[in-house]
Structure 1
């Protein structure tokens, strides 16, 4: 007698196909209610039948260890991320890039990307896995097919997943991990991201209710830096976050931040109705009595209501932006304001920046993957032609921030009011 489930590399694929067939026959409704129990039952049934077939063919059944591994692999393929799940569970993994089911690269902390084994038996299985994940995650748009060829959602651990199909030759997936969801400024000092001096300085800047822009390139640790600054907010303060998608995760840390409203844009439905953009949400946030408005990343027209919030009394707010230097940060802001529907001229934007932004923090990343602050700039004021500023820290010989300047008298007074003496910074010692 021949086993219905051939042993070897294809064994798992045959078992998965059989579970999938039976799952379709169960006709579970779109809510996925009870899906976990049904999947577990079907996997148990199929594995038992496989063992009976093997015994009938006078072959030994699977060992307990192999069966448990196979059961977990099958369960992950229907309820988790399949072959990606082990990398999601690995705390040292930072990024995962998939260029088709059998071309997968993983970046570990402080190391270059390495290619790893296939994470699915085919692109079709990968698509099925992503569709199931979208349905279970509560994503606003649950489709992932040629008619809706992209998927953007947050995984249960807070990681960000973006996938494409049809517009790319194969199914592509990019996953950005957040290895440190609850780091404090002291933790960043332990990691070497900031100096010990900066721990007190940043704490004082937050206490003085400075409006802060965290600037840097892709994957330089802007979100981690912003999250650490937000941990300096008082627990009783009301925080409104606007992100696309959720990455800061302040609303999930209810012990540190019990009073958080997390807002996320909504795309239009298939009829083109119901969309809500970042600009609208920033305007709404300013009407919700916030102590702090935090925009996860500014990259468009939302910069105008954010600058208005900075200038109209919502002090102590914060955002991040893609820029190559502290000075480049406000040029990016001005460019976004110019491209917005209001088309603000540069002179108006410069004055909004000069009146609203207090501090720009620049973060960078070395070739070996180490992330660190490279510069800190105080915005003093502005006129129609330029933003005037003081460069407090600038990149040193190894790009680490080196103290080179001093704060304005106005900022010194603000820092003194919260019990911090800027003269405690040692201008002779690298940060």
Structure 2
């Protein structure tokens, strides 16, 4: 059970809820008054740490005032456990993530799934699901919580109602939230957390995603400016691997990142990547205007003199401008895509291209992909199903009608992990050697030369 939570099934009593609402209202009013006094005095706004300290002080004062009031009126004084829950509820509400704050503060939680206010499941890093306490007292309150989160998202208009029953946004800690209503029996939301926001190749080895030999090979692919598409299923670690690849990009290169919802945060680490422009797709406004999709952002990004373009996830029409970017001088670009196998990546790329406004034929799409993508890296699960691993790497060779021709240079071994397979092309070996890969090491002797 998470620290500080009530036993499962326990909900605040009406008096407790009323007290929490009253204290929250008084603390919020005093907090606003205090902020106004600072502004009048010419003082800067409080940072997050100072604001939390101020809220803690105001909470203690208000709860003390409530105790004195109860004694003066001859009423029963609430016990310490109730006061603690009231204080936590007020803090959660004032700091934006409501009752979700406690789950987000738990480092062991990887996914949070809410199937209605009182049906809450969390998944830990080991892949185990457990049920948790309610995050709201009603579905209506849950809707208000989601709207509060949306209102605090970079000033962007993000509706959540029957007219716009879905919401996709990034929480302050970098987690990704997706919520739906009206089309489901109850309001539901899913929060996916990124436990490794600054991943590296060394981190992938430590986590068991790949071994040292494969890490050296992948590092050389990035440094040799090979265009790479990372494929895999949902929640298998594609974004983490993309971050690890980006970690190998020299700091003197200019990057443009394009995402449906900000997740990569490459612009946050100014030492590793000081020259980054991060762009996010935008939903249409209430009149249905102003929407900007990833395909348009890729076109914009190409006008911003990037050394590399990174698309967080290919999921539609952006596949065509992305491939164009990869084949017209922006080598070293990266992206991810949902696909169940490494070969299936080509099928997904073709299906997205067929749905794009250009309506490319399969043959034309394959020619485009073959001229743009150099390697496909695929992630899956090891033989026990308990650990994320890179299980396949394909080198794209050419296109032949309805097929993209590729060599699987790493294929799944007996335990599901990638092992060397087909040889690399001589030209590729030379490129990787120039990028620092020690081709002559015994570990790579199984490759040979194509």
Task: Name the residue aligned to 1:293.
Answer: 309
1:405 to 397, 422, 435: 422
Tell me the CA shift for residue 144 of structure 1.
2.4
Distance 1:127 1:296, change over 3 A: same
Task: Name the residue aligned to 2:285.
Answer: 269
Alignment check: 8 A CA contact 2:314 2:337 kept: yes
Task: Name the residue aligned to 1:370.
Answer: 387
Alignment check: 8 A CA contact 1:227 1:248 kept: yes
* Cα separation, 1, equivalents of 2:158 and 2:242: 30
Write the deviation string for residues 215-237 of structure 1: whole angstroms up to 9, x where unpaired.
Answer: 00101100000010000001111
Distance 1:192 1:8, change over 3 A: closer
* Cα separation, 2, equivalents of 1:248 and 1:369: 25
Q: Which runs of 5+ in 1 are unaligned?
A: 1-6
* Cα separation, 2, equivalents of 1:319 and 1:274: 25
* Cα separation, 2, equivalents of 1:313 and 1:373: 28
Task: Name the residue aligned to 1:111.
Answer: 127
Q: How does 1:101-180 map to 2 (within 5 A)?
A: 101-138=117-154, 140-180=156-196
Q: Which runs of 5+ in 2 are unaligned?
A: 1-10, 40-44
1:390 to 386, 407, 411: 407
Residue aligned with 1:51, SS: helix
* Cα separation, 2, equivalents of 1:114 and 1:225: 27
1:284 to 288, 293, 300: 300
Tell me the CA shift for residue 169 of structure 1.
2.0
Write the deviation string for residues 126-179 of structure 1: whole angstroms up to 9, x where unpaired.
Answer: 222222222122252243233332221101111001112222222111000001
Alignment check: 8 A CA contact 1:241 1:294 kept: yes
Distance 1:399 1:40, change over 3 A: same
Check if 1:16 corresponds to 2:25.
no
Task: Name the residue aligned to 1:381.
Answer: 398
Alignment check: 8 A CA contact 1:13 1:121 kept: no
Task: Name the residue aligned to 1:193.
Answer: 209
Question: How many equivalent pairs are there?
Answer: 421
Task: Name the residue aligned to 1:240.
Answer: 256
1:416 to 433, 441, 449: 433
RMSD: 2.9
Write the deviation string for residues 321-372 of structure 1: whole angstroms up to 9, x where unpaired.
Answer: 0111111101110111111110111111111111111110000135654111
Tell me the CA shift for residue 47 of structure 1.
2.3
Write the deviation string for residues 64-118 of structure 1: whole angstroms up to 9, x where unpaired.
Answer: x864553233111232322211111111111000011110000011132111111
| TM-score normalised by the chain length of structure 1 | 0.90
Greater alpha carbon shift after TM alignment, 399-408 vs 142-151: 142-151
Residue aligned with 1:326, SS: coil
